Structures are given as C-alpha cells and as structure tokens.
Structure 1
C-alpha cells in the first residue's frame, strides 16, 4: 500500500511540475511579447512568485474542493492513479501542440472520469464539478470584463502623459502585474495537486490504520504545500515557449499598458476565486483578460479565429480527460 501511495505522490508532483511549464506562458507571455523581460528573465521572475505563494496562502480551500470531487466510498489508489495519468497525458499533448488548455480542468475531468468508471454516477460529488464547469465559463468572462474596464480607465488616466514616459512607467508596472499573476497562479494551481495527494494520504490511512475520519477533516501535512509550490516553481522555470507565442501574440498584440491591465485583471479574478475555494483556470482567465484588453481598441483587433479554437480546446478538456481516465481505470482494474 505504501508503494502505491509513493507512486501517486510522485506522479502528482510530476503533474504539478508539468502544470508549471504548461502554464508558465500565462504569467510571462505578455511581459515577453512587450519585451519588458527576456524569456529567461521572465521564467525566473514567474517561478520566484510561484514559490512565494507558499508564504502567502495558508488556507487551502481549493485543495479541499478538489479532494471533494470523488465520493469517499469509491476513492482508491486505482482511481487516483488513473486520474493522474490522464491529467498528465492531456497536459503533455496540449503543450506539444501549443494549446493553452486548463491543467485545472484536466485534473477535474480525470478525477470525475475515473470515479464514474469505478462507481457510476454516484462515484462523483456533482457540486464541485458543477461549480468548476460554471466558472469555466464565468472566469474568462469576468477576466474579459475586468480587462476591458481596467484598460479604459487606465487609458483615460494616462491620456495626458508623454508617450515615452508613460511606456517607461508601464514597463515597470508590468513587473508588478506579472508577479501578481504568477503569485495567483502558484497559489491556485498548487492547491489542486495538494488536494489530489491529500486524498491519497487519506485513503492510505483509512486502509492501513482504519482511519474513520472524513477526507474533509484530514489535516494538511506540513511538507505537502512546500513540495507542491516547489514543484510548480521548478516547472515554471523549465519554460513553455510553445504556448507563450499563442498567449502573447496570436490572440491580440499588446503593449506594456495593455499587458499591465490584462495581468492585473487576471490576477484579481484568480485571487477572488482562491478566497472562495473555487478551482479556476489561470489560462482561461488570462485569455479572457487579453481579449477584453484587445476589444477596447476595436473588436477586429482580437483574432477571433484563434480565440474560438482555444474555446473548443477548453470545452473538450473535461470530457476528454474523463474518457481517458475511465479507460485507464478499466485497464488497471483488468490487469490487477
């Protein structure tokens, strides 16, 4: 049993690492495209704030939400292993093709698919999945609205400034906004891995030690947040350049002012959802913010073809991850 637990912990941390380099583009795409930092400087900057999140976020409500997806009566190492393998597979596939899909929804879909394969529809708790699906739609819309309004307000406040001086200040401010977005990314996405590992630890204690407490009452081990924040920070340092191009240039071209507005809007949206324990996608949220910023110039400034392709990828993420996880569960179950 201990060997299974160790395997799941290792795979979950690998998923966290992949999440880091898969989603690195979210917090550095605009700062690289506006040439505020070089790609190497940007990933170091983002990775540092991913790790600083360890010292900022002491409540782990998002982790609790993830741990609540699977009904306790069907939680097993087979289910958790299937979900993790499916999430890793979809993340690597979308990274390879440069598609900024959601690591969050990949994991949620994987957990739901494996749980349904193990226990039918009663194997999942529908409430956290329902909330995730709702905010899959709402988070980019909220980011879009914040990005649109923030850009309008900022442009009006800076309209009398000399262009060269204003650009210099916004380049400095973009360091702050990208840092805030990386902090939010680390704080939100690392907790999803914590929830997965915490569920595995709970099942181990239940099976080996006869623990009767609910998974919701399971205390977070002190090493777990440190391990998860470290893994995502290391992953961010490894890059994610395929998706940088999509997020930084293909949706709409942004200048430093617009970069500040998009990143700040995305960070605010994610911080709010973390407070309420809602697992949202950093990718979805920032994409919405970038679209909102681009729409302030004119609707044609947004490359809607690229945007709609991203939306299709988002729609498919949960069901495809669920299907892959279900198939993996049946294979593992059949083997033994």
Structure 2
C-alpha cells in the first residue's frame, strides 16, 4: 500500500514539475512581449498627446506621426546607446543591473531635461543644405525618412547585439533623405569626411587612453610591493583626474542650455575641480583603506565608488548631449509644419524634450540589459579598475576631440575603451609570460594561443562591421523611405 502511495506521489510531483516548467516557459516567451507592449503604448501616447497639444486641422496627422517616430527613436537610443555608460560598471560588478538602470534612467532624464540644448541643428550638424530642398513639404518628408531609417537601424543593431552610434545613424538618415530629395550636391561632403574619420579616431583614441590609464594603474599600484600605500598616493590623483575631466566634459557638452562655455574656460573649470577633488579624496581614501589586506581585491574596492560616480556623470552628459538625436528631426518637423518654412536651427519645445527624455529611459529599462551585458562582460572581462579606465577615457577623449575640432561618437569611444583595455591585457599577459618562461610565441600551439585571447574576436568583428555600415545602411534606408513617402503623398 505504501509503495502505491509513493508511486502516486512521485507521479504527482512529476506532473506538477511539468506544469511549473510550462508556466516558466510561458513567462519567458511572454516577457519580451510585455516590453514591446509598454514601448508601443508609450509611443502611441506620445503621438496622441503631441497631436492634441500642437496639431490643428491637417497638421494633426503629421504631428502625430512625427511625435510617434521621435518617441520610437528615443526608445531605441535608450536600448542601445546607454549601455556604453553602464556596461563597464555592471560588468565589473560595481553595480547590479537593477541599480545601473535606476542610476542611468535618473541621469539620462535629468540630463535631457535640465541641460539638454534648447536649440538644435535640425539637419544634424550641416550634413545637407536646406536651400537644396524644394519646399517645406519635401523637408518634412526628408526629416520623417531620417527618423524612420535611423530608428529602424538602431533597433536592428540592438536586436543583433551590436552597440552602434545613434548620432551616425541620424547623420546617415539625413544624408540619404537629402540625396534622394536634392541629389548628391546637397550633401556637405567635407563634413561627411570628418564624420567618416571619426569612425577610426573615436575608438582608437578611446582605446589608447583607456589602455594608458590601465598601464599606469598596474605599474604604480597593482605591481607595487605595498599596494595599499601606493593606492593611497595615486587613487586620489586618479579621482581628481576623473572629476576634472568630467567637469570639463559637462561644461563643454552638457550645459549648453544653462550657459555657453568655451573650451579653454571648460579646461580651467576642470582643473579647479580636479585639484579640489584630489584634496578631498586623500583623507577619504586613507580612511577607506585602513585595515585592508595587501592584495588586488582591496584595490578593486577603492575603485568601486569612483566608478559608480563616473557612470552616473556619463549618463547625465549623454542625456544632455544625445537627446537631440531623437528629437532634433522631430523639432524640425514641428517647426516647419507650424511656421510653414524650415530653418537650419530651431528651439526645442518642452514637450519635445519630455518625449526624448522619457523615451530614452523607457528604452533603457525595457531593452537596455542586453547591450549592457554585451559591453560589460561579453567583449572582455572587466573589474572596477579596468572599467574605471574606460569611463575616464570616455570623458578625456571627448575633451581632446573638442580641442582638435573632431566629431566623435560616445558609443565608439566607450566600446573602443573596452577593446583597448582587453587588447592591452592580452599584450601584457603575453609579454609577462615570455619574460618569465623565455619561450617564443611560435612554441605555443595555435589552440592554446586562441584560448589565451582576452578579447572575443567574434564580437569585435561584429561591432566593427556594424560601425562601418551604419551611415551607408541608414542612408540607403532613408532614401528609399523618402521616395516612398513622396510618391504616396505627392
């Protein structure tokens, strides 16, 4: 009797287990649909609110469509671009995914609403000449096509797991629509040449600076016999450099709405903030390091808080600077539809900024974890010291690029910094191995050599390919969309 009872209970447990597995599988299938549903609801609400608030008569449809597309673009920026700021901190385990998303959402939203530029270039940094467009309606269709194509391209890149430049996506979209509307002569090719050069300059410069800081940390702190004493000397210096760099970065890129600051003044602000931060950090680091063991794990703890602060500052600056990628063309469409003419620069209405800010936050919360994991842990292994070098590189590279007058991509800089850290570790690991063993590289079997690679080559090639084709792909899509819109509504 007992045997039959045991068998019955065993059968019941198996059946309950199958039901549990089915419920879990159903949840896993339904979870992506919840995110898509919430994003779609936000896009529709943004479009309806804009149409009711601004549209009148025949303009309702245009405002409705433009606001929806702007919201869609903002969601995609949040899903893709913000990973570059939070990925290293999450990969280094300085932040959990949940806390990173909360910090990034607050930083992005506050940056967009408090310091987002109140005037944006509607044609994305002079890529096309507005005079080359026939009339206001053609200009509106060109901006619509740019929004549709750039948003679709960023969406596709997020789906395949490739962090791409949303700035370059918008540039490609505007260029393609301009060519379709007015021919190749409408494009400012010298400006496009500078943007193409930034494909190489941004990641290389970001990677070199990140690698240089990692080399410095290893030489001055990690490889010292007394690591704690070395950390007490140099960590405050690195914190001062970080605060100084971010102060200058925010002054140049993030405070346009509040005040216009020239580069030399921004550098002076950065210098002053850096010295003050160094002075404040010295006693703090000394207190934090008391009683710590003389090992690398202790050093990682000293870099955790500065890394979290740098991630938050990057998010604020990104929200202030890149929200225009989502709402610039939308502002241009609203201006052209309401005034009846188009302009190279227009003011950003508050409701347009709200769509951009909240769209970025929705995209980050709903779809951001995929790219955050990619940047933070799937390219190379990061710890707080390596991730700190990436964040510091992002701020310094933007300052250097501004000084040189070069257009750069924050995405390319951050991901280039991750690659730079990984490739430096590969080079250093090989150098130390050869110095220790005295063996040549040729004596290692090819399989063992591949196993020792610290940067995943498959991700490296995928990301580089996505970067290279971003502008031409977005331009081609935009040209086709413009021709379709023009044919349908002509």
Residue range with higher mean Cα deviation, 218-227 or 294-303: 218-227
1:5 matched to 2:158: no
Residue range with higher mean Cα deviation, 262-271 or 72-81: 262-271
Q: 1:80 aligns with which of 143, 146, 154?
A: 143
The residue aligned with 2:101 is 43
* TM-score normalised by the chain length of structure 2: 0.62
Residue range with higher mean Cα deviation, 198-207 or 176-185: 198-207
Offset of 1:180 from its aligned partner?
Answer: 2.3
Q: 2:333 aligns with which of 182, 190, 200?
A: 200
Give the Cα–Cα distance (whole angstroms) in 2 for the partners of residues 60 and 270 of structure 1.
21
> C-alpha deviations, 1:104-144, integer Å up to 9, x for none?
21111111111111111123333443332222221111211
Question: Structure 2, unaligned stretches of length 5 or more?
Answer: 1-57, 229-293, 428-452
Offset of 1:168 from its aligned partner?
Answer: 1.0
The residue aligned with 2:18 is none
The residue aligned with 2:126 is 68
Residue range with higher mean Cα deviation, 155-164 or 168-177: 155-164
Give the Cα–Cα distance (whole angstroms) in 2 for the partners of residues 276 and 195 of structure 1.
25
Compared with structure 1, are the counterparts of its residues 248 and 187 closer, same or farther at alpha carbon in structure 2 (3 Å cutoff)? same
Are the aligned partners of 2:122 and 2:343 in contact in 1 as well (CA < 8 Å)? no
Give the Cα–Cα distance (whole angstroms) in 2 for the partners of residues 180 and 79 of structure 1.
34
Q: 2:344 aligns with which of 195, 204, 215?
A: 215
Using CA pairs under 8 Å that are at least 6 residues apart, name the structure with larger relative contact order, 1 or 2. 1
The residue aligned with 2:437 is none
Compared with structure 1, are the counterparts of its residues 67 and 295 closer, same or farther at alpha carbon in structure 2 (3 Å cutoff)? closer
Rg (Cα) greater in structure = 2
Are the aligned partners of 1:188 and 1:274 in contact in 2 as well (CA < 8 Å)? no
Compared with structure 1, are the counterparts of its residues 100 and 58 closer, same or farther at alpha carbon in structure 2 (3 Å cutoff)? closer
- Tell me how many residue pairs correspond in the alignment: 331
Misfit runs of 4+, over 6 Å: 274-278
> What root-mean-square deviation, in Å, do the aligned CA atoms of Structure 1 and Structure 2 show?
2.6
Correspondences of 1:246-325 after superposition (within 5 Å): 246-270=374-398, 280-299=408-427, 300-325=453-478
Correspondences of 1:8-19 after superposition (within 5 Å): 8-19=66-77
Are the aligned partners of 2:113 and 2:320 in contact in 1 as well (CA < 8 Å)? no
Offset of 1:53 from its aligned partner?
Answer: 1.5
Residue range with higher mean Cα deviation, 26-35 or 271-280: 271-280
The residue aligned with 1:190 is 323
Give the Cα–Cα distance (whole angstroms) in 1 for the partners of residues 123 and 389 of structure 2.
29
The residue aligned with 2:479 is 326
Correspondences of 1:108-123 after superposition (within 5 Å): 108-123=171-186
> C-alpha deviations, 1:172-205, integer Å up to 9, x for none?
2220121122223222321222422232234224
Compared with structure 1, are the counterparts of its residues 278 and 200 closer, same or farther at alpha carbon in structure 2 (3 Å cutoff)? farther
Correspondences of 1:98-113 after superposition (within 5 Å): 98-113=161-176
